[in-house]
Amino acid sequence: MLLTHATLATMTNGYGLIPDAAVAMDGNRIAWAGPMADLPATYRALPEHDANGRLVTPGLIDCHTHAVFAGHRAVEFELRLNGASYEEIAWAGGGILSTVTATRATSEDTLLALALPRVDQLIASGATTIEVKSGYGLTVTDELKMLRVARRIGLHRPVTVKTTHLAAHAIPPEYKGQPKAYIAEVALPSLRDAYADGLIDAVDAFCETIAFSVEDLAPLFAEARALGLPVKLHAEQLTDQGGAAFAARHAALSADHLEYLSAEGVAAMAAAGTVAVILPGAFYTLRESQLPPITALRDAGVPMAVATDLNPGSSPMASLTLAMNMACTLFRLTPAEALLGTTAHAARALGLADRGRIVPGLRADLCIWDADHPAEISYRIGATPLYKRIFGGHLDA
Per CB under 5 A, the segment of 116-124, 215-223, 306-314, 382-390 that binds Fe ion is 306-314
Of the residues 118, 157, 234, 250, which one makes contact with ligand NIG according to CB under 6 A: 234
Minimum distance of ligand NIG from residue 380's CB (angstroms) = 25
- 242's contact among ligand NIG, Fe ion, none, with CB below 5 to 8 A by partner kind, is none
The 5-24 site mask, x for binding ligand NIG (CB under 6 A), equals --------------------
Between 43 and 136, name the residue whose CB sits nearer to ligand NIG: 136
By CB under 6 A, residue 206 contacts ligand NIG: yes
Per CB under 6 A, the segment of 150-158, 179-187, 304-312, 352-360 that binds ligand NIG is 304-312
Residue 179 near residue 126, CB atoms below 8 Å: no
Residues in CB range of 192: below 8 A, 6 or more apart: 223, 227
Between 143 and 309, name the residue whose CB sits nearer to Fe ion: 309
In the bound state, the residue with its beta carbon closest to ligand NIG is 313
Bridge partners, 57 (sequence order):
367
Between 309 and 365, name the residue whose CB sits nearer to Fe ion: 309
- 179's contact among ligand NIG, Fe ion, none, with CB below 5 to 8 A by partner kind, is none
Of the residues 259, 309, 337, 365, which one makes contact with Fe ion according to CB under 5 A: 309
Per CB under 6 A, the segment of 91-99, 147-155, 180-188, 357-365 that binds ligand NIG is 91-99
Residue 348 near residue 340, CB atoms below 8 Å: no
Mark residue 216 as left, alpha or beta (left: phi above 0; alpha: psi -120 to 50; beta: remaining).
alpha
In angstroms, the CA 251 to CA 390 distance is 33
Minimum distance of ligand NIG from residue 22's CB (angstroms) = 40
Of the residues 190, 254, 314, 319, which one makes contact with ligand NIG according to CB under 6 A: 314
Residues contributing to the site for Fe ion (CB under 5 A): 309
Residues contributing to the site for ligand NIG (CB under 6 A): 66, 95-96, 99, 206, 234, 237, 282, 309, 311-315
